[in-house]
A and B are shown apart, each in its own frame.
Chain A
Amino acid sequence: MAVTLDINGKPTSVQASPDTPLLWVLRDELGMTGTKFGCGMAQCGACTVHLDGQAIRSCVTPIEAVGAAKITTIEGLGGQHPVQQAWVRHDVPQCGYCQSGQIMSACALLAQKAKPSDEDIDNAMAGNICRCGAYQRIRAAIKDAADTGPPLGEPHADIDEAIVAGSGATHRGAGR
């Protein structure tokens, strides 16, 4: 059946049964392969996307549960988002397979907490496994992105709002 999803600010029509996990719709139906398959049961975080700004595991989210919520994927960050730039500065990725999910979790964290503590990072990122063990650089890059963000106390604007508002192609992250 046809379902219309709001993906990275664009209404997108897909043909899929309502119980299909969002992950497989993104990857197989729409060819948006930046979001990864890792475990299929919300254990590893490789499939993390945003639903109305919240980090969720798309592998266990059937499209019937998405409704009109705004979906943001790694493609929606535009490639030069401050978090992505910090990732590159720190040479965070090794094999890289988990990094889309890591970055989406980190963006959701920073949108809620401009200057996260180590404990905040642990809490927000513990659901994202990195088998290469790039954790130390993930932590450093999140702090770096926080430091290059807006002044302390001013929350990062919801990146999803910015994508809707902007042209999408060269989006550089709201509030940065």
Chain B
Amino acid sequence: MNAPFKPIEGPSRRDVVVASALVGGSLLVGCSPADIMSAGSKVEVGAFGPFIKIAPDGVVTVISKHVEFGQGNHAGLAAIVAEELDADWTKVQVEQAPANAKLYANGALGAQLTGGSSAISNSWEQLRKAGAGARAMFVQAAANKWNVPVGEITVKDSVGTHTSGKTATFGDLLADAAKVPAPTDVKLKDPKTFTLIGTDRVRRKDAQVKSDGTARYTQDVRLPDMLTAVVAHAPRFGAKVKSFDAAEAKKVAGVVDVFEIPTGIAVVAQTTFAARMGREALKLEWDEEKAEKRGSAAIAQLFNDVAAGKNTDTKWEPFDQRGDATALNSAKGANVFETTYEFPYLAHATMEPMNCVASVDGNKVKMVFGSQGQTLDQLAAAKIVGCLPGSVEIETIFAGGSFGRRANFQSDYVAECVHIAKKVGKGRPVKLVWTREDDMQAGYFRPLTVHAVKVQLDKDGYPAAWRHRIVSQSIMKGSPMPAGKGPDQTAIEGTAGSPYLKATPVVDAQVALPDVGVPVLWWRSVGATHTAFVMEHTIDQLAAKAGKDPVEYRRALYTKAGADRHLAALNLAVEKAGPKAADGWTRGVAVHESFGSVVAQVAEVKVENGAPRVGRVVTAIDCGVAVSPDQIAAQMEGGTCYGLSGFMFGEVTLTDGKVDQTNFDRYRVLRINEAPTVETNIVPSGNPPSGVGEPGTPVIGPAVANALLVLNKTPTKRLPFVRSEN
């Protein structure tokens, strides 16, 4: 999830979180944002700091401030510490940090929050220093013990060795090392001397528990005396409860209580099955006066009208304007290209539907769940029960996927669970369970989005003037962010900053964000889910118009724009793909930068039964220093599948404001028989690490569309490729 917020262009995530804190009513005058957000927290920090614990048997526990929901970040974070600590990798384990915004804030976002593909990048310096600091403490302890200079001691695999041959393990030295004052200035390794980072030894630490059924997810939490709750939600966004009759629901065996909460009617029961049966027996009426009643077709029509300038109610916000583009408005002819693209709402559809476990005793709140934005979730809970945000305890556990869904400013399902637990009271734990249907119909979709593009080519066939209009819904609106700092980056990133626009002398790019009552949210790779498609598919159409090879066309534009990393990634992918596709397959190429990383893909595509089939996908990524090459490959494989699933089948539609899809029968997702084979190549780099979780997602769509353009001579103007009958 999450756009990389650029301080000069938009509000920083820190602004947003501080604003949330203010809304929470817990403002402590004179405190830093981290002080406000961690107020009331009681987290103990050990001798080696907030990120490292070492046991007498020498086992090193790396404390991860980031949730693990598939990204493999726990492996990378642990490897960063282990590298500088010179720890025995086989004796390193990972533990999830408690919620504390002061100790465990994401340095890129200003809150304890996992997102924006930033787990490794924001932790890079922090964890290297933590590892190096702890190492220095062990070396000092050994030097003291042996009465030798620290310079004569080396460390390898958790063992300190003196030049004389004397050795001592971390376990041997632990008691003494813990008493050494933590160094304030540590020397980090020269990356050229890394022995763990960048090797295939950096593997997941959780593969075993995730293969034997013992990994613990929110759905699996079982606490003494725990109740399970489900909620009857309104069928349309913005509707409220008008009246309800719980008599029949309460007769269901196992149902304990039925009551109203702000988002609907909660049914609390002894078991999940009983809660669901109770909900089915509810009689409910909704007040839909303020509900969103438009269907997705009407919303799409509105967005298309806005993009075409037929609707003048919507405010346009420019985000890239250079030169005089007025001549382009009326330009016609063989050198003018004009088109539109339409993208549907998308559900995240994580394997584990949203859920949460909370207990409330007076103003004490404890939660156990796969929290993605602990600071946001603490604030949401604090607002409901009236306590200091930092006093809200969160035990973060594995989450069964997120793709952006679990972090939002409303903490929607978290707040719902806290409301229920507050009503139940007495510290009795309540597990809120959303069924697949609840999850899919709850909104927070990738926004429906329309792009309108008009480009005039110069005499050499390259863009001379580029007009770009994006119509989408603002993700950031409705968040407590300060207004007036420029357009919502989440709607434009990827078009904004595109090397193709940089290479164009005259640009007029604007965005309009009409209000719609459907809640929207970041969906893995956020703005790039549509901007990458538009820019990359447009480029192939421009190249075709200019009679040029699309790869050569890109190379020329990257050279013009000074986009060296794009060029290098493209060249590597093309080189590794080899001279030609296998017989029967057609290639499409696409390149996109997101979250600081550039991904290039060469996809081999054919059409089977009228639908695209994607085979080999050769990928190149420049993500700075590759901490865990195997997990980078895993994210390229998974990101490509996640993206392809959306581009191929993903579409949430609404009829008169009601979501049509309820489950995987009508919300089709990619299955193993439709999955491509992704080859990953990493561009060598000495830059600090950049994003990996999201950048692999958006590129496959335009790569496939570009192959289809060759195959069918038809551009793709509306997604998904395969539309179901709704």
Do B70 and A94 touch (CB < 8 A)? yes
Do A74 and B212 touch (CB < 8 A)? yes
- Given A33-B219, A37-B219, A136-B675, A44:B351 Cβ within 8 A: yes
**Residues on the B chain within 8 Å of A44, using CB:** 351, 436, 664
Residue from A31, A46, A98, A129 with most neighbouring chain B CB atoms (10 Å)? A129
Do A135 and B675 touch (CB < 8 A)? yes
Q: Can you list 11 A-B pairs with a CB-CB distance of less than 8 A?
A: A28-B228, A34-B213, A38-B436, A39-B436, A88-B211, A91-B203, A98-B351, A125-B672, A129-B351, A130-B351, A136-B678
Residues of B608-631 whose CB lies within 8 A of A: 630-631
Do B403 and A84 touch (CB < 8 A)? no
**Residues on the A chain within 8 Å of B228, using CB:** 28
A88 to B211, CA, bound (A): 7
A151 to B207, CA, bound (A): 27
CB nearest to B696 among chain A residues: A133
- The answer to whether the Cβ of A77 comes within 8 Å of any Cβ in the partner chain is yes
Q: Could you say which of A95, A98, A126 contacts B399, with CB atoms under 8 Å apart?
A: A95
Do B642 and A133 touch (CB < 8 A)? yes
Q: Could you say which of B398, B637, B664 contacts A136, with CB atoms under 8 Å apart?
A: B637
A80 to B641, CA, bound (A): 29
B8 CB, min distance to chain A CBs, angstroms: 35
Q: Could you say which of A35, A92, A97 contacts B211, with CB atoms under 8 Å apart?
A: A92
**Residues on the B chain within 8 Å of A24, using CB:** 271-273
Do A41 and B663 touch (CB < 8 A)? yes
Given A43-B436, A87-B207, A91-B634, 10 other A-B residues pairs in contact with their CB atoms under 8 A: A20-B273, A36-B217, A39-B663, A79-B211, A91-B203, A93-B215, A96-B209, A98-B351, A98-B400, A137-B634
A28 to B436, CA, bound (A): 18
Which residues does A use to contact B, with CB under 8 Å? 17, 20-21, 24, 27-29, 31, 33-41, 43-44, 46, 73-75, 77-79, 84, 87-88, 91-100, 103, 121-123, 125-139
Residue from A77, A88, A131 with most neighbouring chain B CB atoms (10 Å)? A131
| Bitwise interface map of B from 640 to 681 toward A, beta carbon under 8 Å scored 1, else 0 | 111001000000000000000001110001111101111000
Do B351 and A133 touch (CB < 8 A)? no
**Residues on the A chain within 8 Å of B271, using CB:** 24, 28-29
6 closest Cβ pairs, A-B complex: A34-B213, A133-B641, A97-B400, A96-B210, A94-B70, A95-B70
Q: Could you say which of B203, B209, B640, B665 contacts A133, with CB atoms under 8 Å apart?
A: B640
B396 CB, min distance to chain A CBs, angstroms: 14
Q: Could you say which of A46, A77, A91 contacts B351, with CB atoms under 8 Å apart?
A: A46
Residues of B284-331 whose CB lies within 8 A of A: none
- The answer to whether the Cβ of B638 comes within 8 Å of any Cβ in the partner chain is yes
Do A93 and B219 touch (CB < 8 A)? no
Do B349 and A74 touch (CB < 8 A)? no
Q: Could you say which of B436, B642, B664, B677 contacts A132, with CB atoms under 8 Å apart?
A: B642
Residues of B188-218 whose CB lies within 8 A of A: 203-204, 206-217
- The answer to whether the Cβ of B435 comes within 8 Å of any Cβ in the partner chain is yes
A37 to B220, CA, bound (A): 10
- Given A95-B398, A132-B638, A38:B352 Cβ within 8 A: yes
A43 to B401, CA, bound (A): 17
A135 to B631, CA, bound (A): 15
A139 to B71, CA, bound (A): 20
**Residues on the A chain within 8 Å of B343, using CB:** none
- Given A34-B213, A131-B401, A132-B642, A97:B634 Cβ within 8 A: no
| Bitwise interface map of B from 41 to 66 toward A, beta carbon under 8 Å scored 1, else 0 | 00000000000000000000000000
A88 to B209, CA, bound (A): 9
Q: Could you say which of B72, B220, B669 contacts A129, with CB atoms under 8 Å apart?
A: B669
**Residues on the B chain within 8 Å of A128, using CB:** 671-672
- Given A33-B213, A34-B212, A88-B211, A133:B638 Cβ within 8 A: yes
A49 to B210, CA, bound (A): 16
**Residues on the B chain within 8 Å of A78, using CB:** 212
Do B350 and A131 touch (CB < 8 A)? yes
Do B670 and A133 touch (CB < 8 A)? yes
CB nearest to B440 among chain A residues: A39
**Residues on the B chain within 8 Å of A139, using CB:** 672
A164 to B642, CA, bound (A): 40
Q: Could you say which of B207, B637, B640, B673 contacts A88, with CB atoms under 8 Å apart?
A: B207
CB nearest to A46 among chain B residues: B351
Do B664 and A43 touch (CB < 8 A)? yes
Do A134 and B399 touch (CB < 8 A)? no
- The answer to whether the Cβ of B639 comes within 8 Å of any Cβ in the partner chain is yes
A97 CB, min distance to chain B CBs, angstroms: 3
CB nearest to A95 among chain B residues: B70
B211 CB, min distance to chain A CBs, angstroms: 4
**Residues on the B chain within 8 Å of A96, using CB:** 70, 206, 209-211, 215, 398, 400
**Residues on the A chain within 8 Å of B403, using CB:** 131
**Residues on the A chain within 8 Å of B638, using CB:** 94, 132-134
- The answer to whether the Cβ of B222 comes within 8 Å of any Cβ in the partner chain is yes
Do A135 and B435 touch (CB < 8 A)? no
**Residues on the B chain within 8 Å of A127, using CB:** 671
Do B210 and A99 touch (CB < 8 A)? yes
- The answer to whether the Cβ of B522 comes within 8 Å of any Cβ in the partner chain is no
A92 to B215, CA, bound (A): 14
CB nearest to A74 among chain B residues: B213
Q: Could you say which of A20, A79, A123, A138 contacts B212, with CB atoms under 8 Å apart?
A: A79
A46 to B663, CA, bound (A): 14
CB nearest to A86 among chain B residues: B211
Do B210 and A137 touch (CB < 8 A)? no
Do A39 and B208 touch (CB < 8 A)? no
A78 to B675, CA, bound (A): 30
**Residues on the A chain within 8 Å of B349, using CB:** 131
Do B665 and A95 touch (CB < 8 A)? no
| Bitwise interface map of B from 218 to 247 toward A, beta carbon under 8 Å scored 1, else 0 | 011010000010000000000000000000
B279 CB, min distance to chain A CBs, angstroms: 13
**Residues on the A chain within 8 Å of B677, using CB:** 136
Q: Could you say which of B71, B663, B664 contacts A94, with CB atoms under 8 Å apart?
A: B71
- The answer to whether the Cβ of B69 comes within 8 Å of any Cβ in the partner chain is yes
CB nearest to B402 among chain A residues: A95
Do B351 and A95 touch (CB < 8 A)? yes
**Residues on the B chain within 8 Å of A103, using CB:** 211
A20 to B253, CA, bound (A): 12
CB nearest to B212 among chain A residues: A79
CB nearest to A119 among chain B residues: B673
- Given A20-B273, A28-B273, A138:B672 Cβ within 8 A: yes
- Given A122-B672, A133-B639, A136-B678, A95:B352 Cβ within 8 A: yes
A154 to B247, CA, bound (A): 60
- Given A38-B352, A43-B664, A131:B669 Cβ within 8 A: yes
**Residues on the B chain within 8 Å of A138, using CB:** 672
A128 to B253, CA, bound (A): 33
B208 CB, min distance to chain A CBs, angstroms: 5
**Residues on the B chain within 8 Å of A40, using CB:** 435-437, 663
B278 CB, min distance to chain A CBs, angstroms: 14
**Residues on the B chain within 8 Å of A41, using CB:** 436, 663-665
A21 to B665, CA, bound (A): 19
A134 to B665, CA, bound (A): 21
- Given A129-B664, A131-B401, A21:B273 Cβ within 8 A: yes
